[in-house]
Copies of this chain bind each other. A is one copy, B any other.
Amino acid sequence: MSDVQNTQLKGSFKLTRVGVRNVKKPVRVSRPGKEVTLVVTFDLFVDLPAELKGSHMSRNLEVLSRVVDEAVRTHVPGLEDLGAMMCQELLSRHEYATRSEVLMSADYFLERGMGSGTTSLEWYVLRASAHSTRGGETRKSIGVEVTGMTACPCAMEEVRKMRNVNSEDLDASITHNQRNVTSVSLEVPMDRPLEADKLIGIIERCLSSPTFEILKRTDEAKVVINAHSNPKFVEDVVRDVLAEILTEFRDLPDDVCVSVKSESFESIHKHNAYAERDTTMGELRA
């Protein structure tokens, strides 16, 4: 049977990634103590050898659909586990591929409160991925993206100098503060459980302050005071998150990849301030 994709090529080039992007699908995962429906955007790729004209992309959609259905029955705990299952299935369906890769992102929500009784459902982004090598291992990564707040330590100090006040004397001084988006990603072998909620908690502790959708007036004041008591550069946020990860995930082996990024939508500038560290658990410990 003729099949355009199966056409044999001579003298052509292998391809690093061939597949589909921007497939949207609702997915059910079993988070701690609850079932959660996520609306996930997927990218699914395999590589392609030099001698094959085309990849059978419809198989990627079939893999996606089958694994998502299976997840409902088997109570898959996380998006990253779903991705890992898809990677293995992709290699089994694309017999010519040596590598598969799945990227996922979804809005996610957790209940949060200030301690004064009012709670709200706060918005986060989950970013998971997985990749698999034929005959090798499958690795998965779980990432979270948290919107919070940073208050600038430098402008705070400059205002104090300008007003001739001693920084020991006084409550925190005025400074610029702003919306910040910080993200973490951890990449581990298939058999390691990972907990997105824990990563969200870490980031929220490392910002100048987490933010909240519903704030009574006194709670609003407390968030402002809290943020000014914890002035942070984006550099500080990234380093504090790295330190917490070292402690909280101390059992993770040296080859685990870690990436932390923090971006502040500066209130005094039209551009953003940004800091990033891409590393491994081993390097962090060194």
Contact = CB atoms under 8 A, between A and B. Distances in A.
Given A107-B24, A213-B270, A276-B16, A61 B176 contact: no
A277 to B, nearest CB: 5
Contact of A213 (B121, B159, B269): B269
Interface string A176-193: 111100000000000000
Contacts of A222: 162
Contacts of A65: 120-121, 213-214
A175 interface: yes
Interface in A154-187: 154-155, 157-159, 161-163, 171-179
A174 B225 contact: yes
B20 A272 contact: yes
A269 to B, nearest CB: 6
A265 B211 CA distance: 12
Interface residues of A, number: 100
A200 interface: no
Name A's interface SS.
mixed
Contact of A179 (B179, B220, B228, B234): B179
Contact of A176 (B25, B223, B268, B279): B223
A284 B3 CA distance: 27
Nearest to A172: B174
A81 interface: no
A149 interface: yes
Given A25-B109, A174-B174, A159 B17 contact: no
A254 B200 CA distance: 44
Contacts of A54: 154, 233, 235-236
Nearest to A181: B270
A20 B224 contact: no
Interface in A127-152: 147, 149
B215 A268 contact: yes
A269 B39 contact: no
Contacts of A39: 39, 107
Interface string A231-251: 001111011001100000000
A122 B276 CA distance: 26
A271 B22 contact: yes
Contact of A2 (B157, B162, B221): B157
A180 B265 CA distance: 10
Q: Which 9 A-B pairs have the closest CB atoms?
A: A158-B221, A37-B37, A17-B276, A24-B123, A4-B154, A23-B271, A21-B272, A61-B214, A18-B275
